[in-house]
Amino acid sequence: AQSVSQHNHHVILSEAASLELGCNYSYGGTVNLFWYVQYPGQHLQLLLKYFSGDPLVKGIKGFEAEFIKSKFSFNLRKPSVQWSDTAEYFCAVIEGLSGYSTLTFGKGTMLLVSP
Amino acid sequence: NAGVTQTPKFRVLKTGQSMTLLCAQDMNHEYMYWYRQDPGMGLRLIHYSVGEGTTAKGEVPDGYNVSRLKKQNFLLGLESAAPSQTSVYFCASSYDRIYEQYFGPGTRLTVT
């Protein structure tokens, strides 16, 4: 079974700092990759996704992520965070070709942005 | 469009009681999912459905049952609640297995 690892459980940044959240997965074949965000008290929303093509994908609210196949990584970045980015961030992976696999989530990274 | 809705939003049960959580989606999605979210554990898949009348087990199915009698609804049942089932439950749906999942607002369940 595939696994997803998010390296940081908690990250604290000041406004305007740059953000990079790590995500690594275990499956070596074709994968579809996602980053979801959960704002306090809310449900998960999609930030961005990668299926194929340009490994640098841009999402909503200025977020982007880079797929590096050789490193099995899909790290999330934002050049300058805002207080409103305080949330929990989840990386998720699904095997692209298997007809039976399901989405696997990482354990999440809680981001706190101080004003 | 309401997207994905869940009822109830909150519930408190005593050990041994039963209950059903209802999930409804208006996007005509084939795939529906039930997850539980616990602190530090991320989201774990309980059961899922690939279409009306079908269900399948996920990562943590024990103690739960599901039914998908109508395409737009996916029910999660707890026959005999246990304190270990205290959690936040999220329903999700998607057009296809590999595509984006849309999540409901969640149900916070406490079992005492």
Predicted confidence at residue A100, as pLDDT, reads 76
Please answer yes or no on whether A105 and B44 come within 8 Å at the CB atom. Answer: yes
Portion of chain A with pLDDT greater than 70, in percent: 97
DSSP code for B100:
P
Predicted confidence at residue B77, as pLDDT, reads 98
Portion of chain A with pLDDT greater than 90, in percent: 83
Using a CB–CB cutoff of 8 Å, tell me whether A43 touches chain B: yes
Portion of chain B with pLDDT greater than 90, in percent: 91
Query: Nearest CA to B74 among B101, B98, B38, B99?
Result: B101
Please answer yes or no on whether A102 and B58 come within 8 Å at the CB atom. Answer: yes
Distance from CA of A59 to the nearest CA of B (A): 13
Using a CB–CB cutoff of 8 Å, tell me whether B40 touches chain A: yes
Cis peptide before A40 (omega within 30 of 0): no
Q: Two tokens at B105?
A: 């607002």
Band of residue A98 on the pLDDT scale cut at 50, 70, 90: low
Strands (E), B18-98: 19-25, 31-38, 42-49, 56-57, 65-67, 73-78, 87-94
Q: Two tokens at A102?
A: 């399901």
The pLDDT tens digits for B16-66 are: 999 999 999 999 999 999 999 998 889 999 999 999 999 999 999 999 999
Q: Two tokens at B16?
A: 């041994």
Cis peptide before B61 (omega within 30 of 0): no
Please answer yes or no on whether A44 and B97 come within 8 Å at the CB atom. Answer: no
Distance from CA of A92 to the nearest CA of B (A): 10
Q: Two tokens at B26?
A: 């208006």
Please answer yes or no on whether A45 and B104 come within 8 Å at the CB atom. Answer: no
Predicted confidence at residue A96, as pLDDT, reads 76
Size of interface A-B (CB pairs under 8 A): 43
Query: What's the whole-number mean pLDDT along residues A89-94?
Result: 96
pLDDT at A39 over 70: yes
Residues 74-103 of B with CB under 8 A from A: 90, 92, 97-98, 100-101, 103
Predicted confidence at residue B1, as pLDDT, reads 67
